[in-house]
C-alpha cells in the first residue's frame, strides 16, 4: 500500500526541480496566510457576502484586475527565468524540458490569463458608468463569466506543481501536442484550462454587446457614446466570432488525445495544417480583441488631458469596426513559409497591409487631439504618450513582416519576438496600465502617488526598450525562437545579456507598482477624491461620486451631447440652468447569487477529471454543472428594489443632494 501511494505521489506531483519545490512552499505559505488572516480578522462572512457571491459589475471588475495582476506576476517570473537562461551562452540554469514548459506557460498566461482579465476588468468597471447604466445586461452571467475564467486559470496554473506543465508552445501545434509526442497530462491541463475560461470569455462578449446596444441612458445615441464603449463593442464582436473557433479546435485536439481520433495526425489521415489554420483564425483576431479596448482608453485619456474634444470621432469609430472585420482576413500571414503558394501569400500580405491603414489612422487622431491642447502630464497621460512611439515601432515592423519575401527571412526569428512584444506590451499592457491609473480614483475613491507612479513608468519604458530593441538585431543575426541555449561562436551573447538586463528593469518597475498600490492604500485618507472628478473628465463616470454607489446613478442622466459631462460643466459655468432633477424612485437591482462560484467549482472538477481520465470525478462534476443550471432556472428571487429612503441616505452621505 505504501509503495502504491509513493508511486502515485511521484507521478501526481512535479518533483526533481528546486524551483518547483520553492513554488510548492510559496503556494502553501500563501494559502495558510490567507486562511489565517480571514479567520483572525473574522472576514469569512464579509468575503462570501461582499465578493464571492456578488453580481455588482464594479466588484467583478476589481476581481478581474486583481487576477490579472497576479497572472502578470506569474508570467513575468516566467519571462525573467527565460531571460536568465539566455543571458549568456551555454548556460544551464534551466533544463530544456523546464524551459519549454516555461516558454509555453508564459505565452498562455500573458495573453489569456493576464491581458484578457485585465481587459474584462476595465470593461466591467467603466462601460456601465460611461453609458449611464446601473449594471450590465446580465449580472448573473457576468459573475459566472468571471468565476469560469478564474477556474480555468487556476486549473492551468495548477499544472506547474501537479502533473506537469504543457510544453508544446503557447499555441500547441501538432504533432508536438499530440499524444504520441506529448503523453503527459500537461497538454490536457492546457486544453481544459483554456476551454473553461474561454466559455466565460464568450459569455462576456455577448453580455457587453447587449449592454452597449440596449442599456444606454436616455438620449445617448450610438454616435454620442464615449470612445471606450465603442472599442469594447468592436472587441466583443470579434470575441463572439473567434472564440467558438478556439473552442472547436481544442475540442478536436482533445478528441485526438482522449479518444484516439486523428483530426490532426498525418499517419491517421488527419492534417496538422488544419489545426494551424484554425488556431490562427482565432489567434490573430485575438490580438485585436485585446488591443482595441486599449485604443478606446487612449482616446478617453488624450481628450481629457489635452482638454479637447477627440479629433476625428467618426473616423475612430469606423476604423475600429473595420479592424474588427479585417482581423479575420489576415491569419495566414503567420505561415507564409509553409508552402501555401504565391496567390495565397499575396492575398494575406495585402490584407495585412490594409489593416495597418485604420490602425495607423488612429495615431494621427490622437496626435491632432493633443495639437494645441492644454496638456497636463499626469501618469495616465504619460503611459498614453509612451504608447505612441512604441506601437508605431511595432506596427512598422509588422508591415515588414507582412511582405511575404521578407518574412521568409524574419520568420521564426527573434525579430518576430521583438515585434510581437512591441505590439502587445506597448499597445495592450501600456493601455491597460493607463486605464487603471485613469479610473483608479473612480474605483477606490483615492488617487495613487504620482511620484512612485512615474518611477514605475520610467523603469517600465527604459527596461522595455533595453529588453526588446536588441532582439530585432538578434533576429537579423539569425537567432531563432524557442532556443534554450546557444554557443559562444554565434556572437549573440552581448545582445542577449543587454536584453536580460532590460527584463530585470521591467521586473523592478512591477515592484514599484506594487509599492505604489500599497502606499496608496496606506495613505488613502490623505488622497481622497472628494470631487468625483479628479481629472476634470468629459464622460458620465465623472459625474457621480468616487467610489460609485452600488446602483451607480441615483437618477439616470439625460444625454444631449457627445461629451455630456464636459458640456454640462460648461453650461454650469455659463450660468445656464441644468435640467431639473427628477424625483428619486426605487431602483431595480439584481440580488447576489452563490450559483456562479459553485458552478465554476464543478467545472474545475470536471476539467481536472478529464485531465487525469478520472470519470469518477468528471461525471459528478458535469452533474453538478447541470444541477446549478437547473437550480438557477427555477430561482425566481433574483432581484430587489433599493428603496427611496436608502438612496437618499446613500447620496446624502457622499454629496449634497438637490431635492
Name the least confident of 144-148, 581-585, 594-598: 581-585
- Residue 249 neighbours by CB under 8 Å, 6+ apart: 275, 278, 279, 282
Domain count, the chain: 2
| Each residue's pLDDT tens digit, 247-257 | 999 999 999 99
Distance CA 69, CA 64 (A): 9
**Residue 112 burial (C-beta neighbours within 10 Å; 0-12, 13-18, 19+):** buried
Same domain? For 230 and 345 the reply is yes
- What is the C-alpha separation between 485 and 610, in angstroms, rounded? 35
Count other C-beta atoms under 10 Å from residue 120's C-beta: 28
CA–CA gap between residue 506 and residue 511 (Å, rounded): 9
Average pLDDT, the chain: 93
What is the mean predicted confidence (pLDDT) over 140-168? 95
Q: How many CB atoms lie within 10 A of CB 656?
A: 7
Whether 152 has a pLDDT exceeding 80, the answer reads yes
| 229 and 336 share one domain | yes
Residue 494 host element (H or E) = helix 493-522
| pLDDT tens, residue by residue, 358-383 | 988 999 999 999 999 999 999 999 99
pLDDT at 276 over 90: yes
Q: Say if residues 331 and 246 touch (Cβ distance below 8 Å).
A: no
> What is the domain-level CATH number for residue 216?
1.20.210.10
Whether 657 has a pLDDT exceeding 60, the answer reads no
Cell of 270: 488527419
Beta strand 639-642 with 587-590: parallel, antiparallel or unpaired? antiparallel
Instruction: Assign 263 a pLDDT band (cuts: 50, 70, 90).
Output: very high
CA nearest neighbour of 306 among 359, 380, 400: 380
**Domain match, 98 and 27 both:** no
Q: Is 433:292 a contact under the CB 8 Å cutoff?
A: no
State how far the Cα of 254 lies from the Cα of 324, in Å rounded to an integer: 29
Q: Where does the pLDDT of residue 24 fall: very low under 50, low under 70, confident under 90, or very high at 90 and above? A: confident
SS3 (DSSP) at 527: helix
Q: Which of 433, 544, 434 is nearest to 129 (CA)?
A: 544
Give the residue, 416 or 11, on which the prediction is more confident.
Answer: 416
* pLDDT band at residue 602 under the 50/70/90 scheme: very high
Is 164 among the domain residues?
yes
d(CA 420, CA 104): 15
154, 20: one domain: no
User: How far, in Å, CA of 493 to CA of 558, rounded?
Assistant: 62
Identify whether the C-beta of residue 72 lies closer than 8 Å to the C-beta of residue 510.
yes
Domain boundary pick from 552, 569, 601: 552
Q: Are residues 29 and 130 in the same domain?
A: no
Q: Give residue 579's pLDDT.
A: 54
In this predicted structure, the answer to whether residue 288 has a pLDDT above a threshold of 90 is yes
The predicted pLDDT at position 577 comes to 64
- N-term to C-term CA, the chain: 76
Share of the chain above pLDDT 90, in %: 88
Does residue 251 sit within a domain?
yes
In which band, very low, low, confident or very high, does the pLDDT at 658 lie, cut at 50, 70 and 90? very low
Q: Domain range holding 25?
A: 16-51
Do the domain assignments include residue 373? yes
Residue that the C-alpha cell 515592423 belongs to: 397
User: What's the pLDDT score for residue 401?
Assistant: 93
**Residue 655 confidence class, pLDDT cut points 50, 70, 90:** low
**Residue with the three cell numbers 502617488:** 449
Residue 627 lies in a domain: no
Task: State the average pLDDT over residues 184-202.
Answer: 96
Do 209 and 142 lie in one domain? The reply is: yes
- Both 333 and 199 in one domain: the answer is yes
pLDDT for 659 equals 37
**Domain-located, residue 626:** no
pTM of the model: 0.96
Residue 596 pLDDT more than 80? yes
User: Is the CB of residue 126 less than 8 Å from the CB of residue 541?
Assistant: yes
* Domain co-membership, 417 together with 446: yes
Per-residue pLDDT at 234: 98
Sign of CA dihedral 532, 209, 110, 255: positive
The pLDDT tens digits of the residues spanning 504-539 come to: 999 999 999 999 999 999 999 999 998 899 999 999
What is d(CA 88, CA 500) in angstroms, rounded to the nearest whole number? 9
Verify that 37 and 109 share a domain, yes or no.
no
Long-range contacts of 96-102, Cβ-Cβ distance < 8 Å, separation of 24 or more? 96/484, 97/167, 98/17, 98/19, 99/484, 100/167, 100/168, 100/169, 100/482, 100/484, 101/164, 101/165, 101/166, 101/167, 101/186, 102/78, 102/165
21 plus 98 within the same structural domain: no
Q: What is the mean pLDDT of residues 386-412?
A: 92
Which tens digits make up the pLDDT trace of 212-255? 999 999 999 999 999 999 999 999 999 999 999 999 999 999 99
Looking at 564-643, list the stretches that DSSP marks H as alpha helix, in order from N- to C-terminal side.
564-573, 595-612, 615-633
Question: How many CB atoms are located within 10 Å of the residue 591 CB?
Answer: 13
Query: Is 595 inside any structural domain?
Result: no
> Within a domain: residue 242?
yes
Q: Could you give the dihedral angle defined by the CA atoms of residues 591, 593, 596 and 601, in that order, rounded to the nearest 10 degrees? A: 160
- Shared domain for 140 and 285, answered yes or no, is yes
Residues 240 and 181 in one domain: yes
CA dihedral 59, 62, 63, 67 (to 10 degrees): 170
Query: Which of 528, 552, 576 is where one domain is finished?
Result: 552
CB atoms within 10 A of CB 11: 13
**Angle at the Cα of 483 from the Cα atoms of 348 and 468, rounded to 5 degrees:** 65
Taking the C-alpha atoms of residue 448 and residue 265, their distance in angstroms, rounded to an integer, is 53
Q: Residue 630, preceding bond cis, omega within 30 degrees?
A: no
Over residues 277-287, the pLDDT tens digits come to 999 999 999 99
Q: How far apart are CA 166 and CA 1, in angstroms?
A: 30
Structure confidence by residue, pLDDT tens digits, 86-131: 999 999 999 999 999 999 999 999 999 999 999 999 999 999 999 9
In a domain, 74, yes or no: yes
Dist. CA 204–CA 142, nearest whole Å: 6
Domain boundary among 532, 552, 572: 552
Q: What does the alpha-carbon distance between residue 618 and residue 652 come to, in Å, rounded to a whole number?
A: 52
Amino acid at each position: 500500500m505504501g509503495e502504491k501511494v509513493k508511486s502515485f505521489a511521484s507521478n501526481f506531483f512535479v518533483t526533481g526541480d528546486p524551483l518547483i519545490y520553492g513554488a510548492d512552499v510559496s503556494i502553501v505559505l500563501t494559502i495558510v496566510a490567507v486562511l489565517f488572516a480571514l479567520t483572525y480578522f473574522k472576514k469569512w462572512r464579509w468575503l462570501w457576502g461582499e465578493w464571492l457571491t456578488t453580481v455588482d459589475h464594479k466588484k467583478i471588475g476589481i476581481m478581474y484586475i486583481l487576477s490579472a495582476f497576479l497572472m502578470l506576476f506569474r508570467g513575468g517570473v516566467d519571462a525573467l527565468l527565460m531571460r536568465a537562461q539566455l543571458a549568456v551562452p551555454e548556460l544551464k540554469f534551466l533544463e530544456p524540458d523546464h524551459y519549454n514548459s516555461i516558454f509555453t506557460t508564459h505565452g498562455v498566461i500573458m495573453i489569456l490569463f493576464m491581458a484578457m482579465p485585465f481587459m474584462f476588468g476595465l470593461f466591467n468597471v467603466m462601460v456601465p458608468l460611461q453609458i449611464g447604466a446601473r449594471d450590465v445586461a446580465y449580472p448573473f452571467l457576468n459573475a459566472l463569466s468571471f468565476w469560469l475564467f478564474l477556474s480555468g486559470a487556476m486549473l492551468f496554473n495548477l499544472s506547474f506543481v501537479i502533473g506537469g506543465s504543457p510544453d508544446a508552445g503557447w499555441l500547441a501545434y501538432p504533432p508536438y501536442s499530440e499524444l504520441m509526442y506529448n503523453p503527459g497530462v500537461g497538454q490536457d491541463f492546457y486544453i481544459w484550462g483554456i476551454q473553461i475560461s474561454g466559455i466565460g470569455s464568450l459569455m462576456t462578449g455577448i453580455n457587453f454587446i447587449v449592454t452597449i446596444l440596449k442599456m444606454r441612458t436616455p438620449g445617448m445615441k450610438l454616435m454620442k457614446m464615449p470612445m471606450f464603449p465603442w472599442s469594447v463593442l468592436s472587441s466583443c464582436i470579434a470575441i463572439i466570432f473567434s472564440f467558438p473557433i478556439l473552442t472547436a479546435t481544442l475540442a478536436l485536439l482533445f478528441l485526438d488525445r482522449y479518444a484516439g481520433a486523428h483530426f490532426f495526425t498525418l499517419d491517421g489521415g488527419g492534417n496538422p495544417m488544419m489545426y494551424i489554420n484554425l488556431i490562427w483564425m482565432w489567434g490573430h483576431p485575438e490580438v485585436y480583441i485585446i488591443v482595441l479596448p486599449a485604443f478606446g482608453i487612449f482616446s478617453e485619456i488624450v481628450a481629457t488631458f489635452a482638454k479637447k474634444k477627440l479629433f476625428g470621432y467618426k473616423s475612430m469609430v469606423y476604423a475600429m469596426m473595420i479592424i474588427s472585420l479585417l482581423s479575420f482576413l489576415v491569419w495566414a500571414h503567420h505561415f507564409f513559409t509553409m508552402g501555401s503558394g504565391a496567390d495565397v501569400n499575396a492575398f494575406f500580405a495585402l490584407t495585412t497591409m490594409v489593416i495597418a491603414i485604420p490602425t495607423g489612422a488612429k495615431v494621427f487622431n490622437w496626435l491632432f487631439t493633443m495639437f494645441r491642447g492644454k496638456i497636463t502630464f499626469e501618469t495616465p497621460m504619460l503611459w498614453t504618450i509612451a504608447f505612441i512611439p512604441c506601437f508605431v515601432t511595432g506596427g512598422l515592423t509588422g508591415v515588414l513582416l507582412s511582405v511575404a519575401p521578407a518574412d521568409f527571412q524574419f520568420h521564426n526569428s527573434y525579430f518576430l519576438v521583438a515585434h510581437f512584444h512591441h505590439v502587445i506590451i506597448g499597445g495592450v499592457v501600456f493601455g491597460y496600465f493607463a486605464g487603471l491609473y485613469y479610473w483608479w480614483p473612480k474605483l477606490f475613491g483615492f488617487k495613487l502617488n504620482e511620484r512612485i507612479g512615474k518611477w514605475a513608468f520610467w523603469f517600465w519604458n527604459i527596461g522595455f526598450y533595453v529588453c526588446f530593441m536588441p532582439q530585432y538585431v538578434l533576429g537579423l543575426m539569425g537567432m531563432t525562437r524557442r532556443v534554450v541555449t546557444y554557443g559562444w561562436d554565434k556572437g549573440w551573447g552581448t545582445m542577449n545579456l543587454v536584453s536580460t538586463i532590460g527584463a530585470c528593469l521591467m521586473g523592478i518597475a512591477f515592484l514599484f507598482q506594487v509599492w505604489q498600490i500599497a502606499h496608496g492604500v496606506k495613505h488613502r485618507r490623505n488622497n481622497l477624491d472628494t470631487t468625483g472628478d479628479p481629472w476634470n473628465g468629459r464622460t458620465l463616470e465623472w459625474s457621480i461620486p468616487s467610489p460609485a454607489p452600488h446602483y451607480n446613478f441615483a437618477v439616470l442622466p439625460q444625454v444631449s451631447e457627445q461629451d455630456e459631462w464636459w458640456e454640462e460643466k460648461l453650461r454650469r459655468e455659463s450660468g445656464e440652468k441644468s435640467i431639473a432633477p427628477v424625483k428619486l424612485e426605487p431602483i431595480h437591482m439584481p440580488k447576489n447569487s452563490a450559483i456562479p462560484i459553485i458552478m465554476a467549482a464543478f467545472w474545475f472538477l470536471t476539467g481536472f477529471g478529464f485531465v487525469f481520465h478520472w470519470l469518477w470525478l468528471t461525471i459528478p462534476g458535469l452533474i453538478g454543472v447541470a444541477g446549478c443550471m437547473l437550480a438557477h432556472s427555477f430561482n425566481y428571487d433574483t432581484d430587489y428594489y433599493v428603496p427611496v429612503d436608502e438612496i437618499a441616505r446613500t447620496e446624502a452621505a457622499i454629496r449634497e443632494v438637490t431635492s
